[in-house]
Amino acid sequence: MALRVAAIDFLNPAPLMWDFDHGPRLSQRYDVHLTEPSQCARELLAGRADLGLIPVAALTPELAIVPGCTIASLRQVRSIQLVVKGTAGLASVRTIAADTASRSSVAYTQVLFRHFLKTDPTYLPAKADPIPMLQSADAALLIGDPALHALEHRTQIEAAVGPCQWFDVATEWNTRTNLPWVAAVWAVRPEALPTAAARTELIEDLNQSRLHGQLHTEDLVTEWQPRIHLPAQTIRHYLTQNIHYTLDPACIEAIELFRHLAAEINALPPLGPLNFLQQ
């Protein structure tokens, strides 16, 4: 039976998805469903998917992280923007309209304000549409492709709502912790992979797909340009410089610190030691 996969319908996971999207090899063994990050986590946790590319904010002790792949950023991610109206900076923010597609970025923003800045803004769930968001709150938290588009349309947005300051949430985290910012990992319900052979095959499939995707950046730029309507150079830079795809020791340390701080401020339940899928 094919493994049911919940994956994210944004540009950033595209390199991880290369082998799923190109050629029949994986399409026979995996049944992929694309949705938004918060929904991927819901599907995995409800047992409607066996494997999910899920926000690190949604990890639970029952799930196992598949080693090797991540959606992270070493410094500037571009696609997680906290747009603050006016010029008074982060300290002035009392209300944030937040994209409901996000789990990790909302929790990182809560850590930023409550732990680091010692303020506690209110979050207003919103659709990813910067002008109405900024008309209804002091700030807007945009994630994924809508954030990349908003950056391209800064002038129009500021013409409608007035001058804004644009904060890159990954940079804010990295400046304060000296660690990468980690958004998502592949996670699995371990009971879906009862044999060592199945676990080894999954780890190899996902890591091979990442390596192949990273070797095909120019093909991804060509494929995504008509889909996302961004300049080729922006897509290329995003896939090669903004997003970091390897779940290395610094990323693991970052997940641990993020979940520890998020639990301390009661933004997320405590997670305990990270659980990795063993071969």
Ligand X SMILES: C=C(O[C@@H]1C=C(C(=O)O)C=C[C@H]1O)C(=O)O
Q: For residues 6 and 147, which CB has a smaller minimum distance to ligand X in the complex?
A: 147
37 lines the binding site for ligand X (CB under 6 A):
yes
5 lines the binding site for ligand X (CB under 6 A):
no
The residue from 102, 109, 110, 207 that contacts ligand X (CB under 6 A) is: 102
User: Which residue stretch of 83-91, 96-104, 123-131, 270-278 sits at the interface with ligand X (rule: CB under 6 A)?
Assistant: 96-104
Per residue, the 3-state secondary structure of the chain, as one string, reads CCEEEEEECCCCCCCCCHHHHCCHHHHCCEEEEEECHHHHHHHHHCCCCCEEEEEHHHCCCCCEEEEEEEEEECCCCCCEEEEEECCCCHHHCCEEEEECCCCHHHHHHHHHHHHHHCCCCEEEEECCCHHHHHHHCCEEEEEHHHHHHHHHCHHHHHHHHCCEEEEEHHHHHHHHHCCCEEEEEEEECHHHCCCHHHHHHHHHHHHHHHHHHHHCHHHHHHHHHHHHCCCHHHHHHHHHHHCEEECCHHHHHHHHHHHHHHHHCCCCCCCCCCCECCC
10 lines the binding site for ligand X (CB under 6 A):
yes
CB of 266 to ligand X, least distance (A): 18
Residues 178-197 that bind ligand X (CB under 6 A): 183-184
69 lines the binding site for ligand X (CB under 6 A):
no
Query: Is residue 99 within 8 Å of 127, Cβ to Cβ?
Result: yes
The residue from 103, 199, 210, 259 that contacts ligand X (CB under 6 A) is: 103
Contact string (CB under 6 A) for ligand X, positions 246-275, x = contact: ------------------------------
Strand partners, 95: 122
174 lines the binding site for ligand X (CB under 6 A):
no
Q: For residues 199 and 268, which CB has a smaller minimum distance to ligand X in the complex?
A: 268
Q: For residues 35 and 207, which CB has a smaller minimum distance to ligand X in the complex?
A: 35
105 lines the binding site for ligand X (CB under 6 A):
yes
User: Which residue stretch of 77-85, 89-97, 150-158, 188-196 sits at the interface with ligand X (rule: CB under 6 A)?
Assistant: 77-85
CB of 279 to ligand X, least distance (A): 25
**Strand 30-35 vs strand 3-8: parallel, antiparallel, or unpaired?**
parallel
User: Which residue stretch of 72-80, 117-125, 127-135, 263-271 sits at the interface with ligand X (rule: CB under 6 A)?
Assistant: 72-80
Positions that interact with ligand X (CB under 6 A): 8, 10, 12-13, 37, 55, 57, 71, 77, 79-80, 102-105, 143-144, 147, 183-184
